[in-house]
Amino acid sequence: MNIKIVVVGKLKEKYLKQGIAEYAKRLSKFCKFKIMEVADEKAPEKLSNSEMEQVKIVEGKRILDKIKDKEYVYALAILGKERSSEELADELQKLGTYGHSDVTFVIGGSLGLSEAVLERANTQVSFGRFTLPHQLMRLVLTEQIYRGFMINAGRTYNK
């Protein structure tokens, strides 16, 4: 299975890079894993609604350029469906079983995802109603993907 995370923006925090690198190394036993960064659109602090939409549209085009037609796409969205670790593990296993060996997760920038990205997604997933920095979300998501593979392998990590 190929797992890819497409994210907006660069990761600067060393401690987050180290955590992600550790889980990426662990994931290498189960799948091909990679993270692809796309540039975030520079924007002033105060934006009108139409300016915010324009930023999301530009970032969305960059995201969609990294997604191939055959990929099964999870968009991380606060209004998406919440799943337990076990439910995500089960979905990943079923995707692999039924021919979706290329799975992509998308994390938007600070303003969220464009409508075009949400429409391209096969499903939306929420990690709850908390607002988390998208940089931290990379680590949380990477850990949950690893946890899913461990659950599917019957390993005790998930306890």
Per residue in 19-46, pLDDT tens? 999 999 999 999 999 999 999 998 888 8
**Residues placed in the known binding site for S-adenosyl-L-methionine:** 76, 108
**Residues placed in the known binding site:** 76, 108
> Does a structural domain hold residue 101?
yes
Number of separate domains in the chain: 1
pLDDT of residue 138: 96
CATH number of domain containing 21 = 3.40.1280.10
> Does a structural domain hold residue 138?
yes
* 157 has a pLDDT exceeding 80: no
pLDDT of residue 159: 61
> Does a structural domain hold residue 47?
no
The boundaries of the domain holding residue 17 are 2-41+52-154
Per residue in 91-146, pLDDT tens? 999 999 999 999 999 999 989 999 999 999 999 999 998 888 889 999 999 999 99
Per residue in 57-94, pLDDT tens? 999 999 999 999 999 999 999 999 999 999 999 999 99
> Does a structural domain hold residue 80?
yes
> Does a structural domain hold residue 96?
yes
* 158 has a pLDDT exceeding 80: no
Nearest C-alpha neighbor of 37 from the set 59, 19, 15: 59
Q: How far apart are CA 77 and CA 79, in angstroms?
A: 5
> Does a structural domain hold residue 159?
no
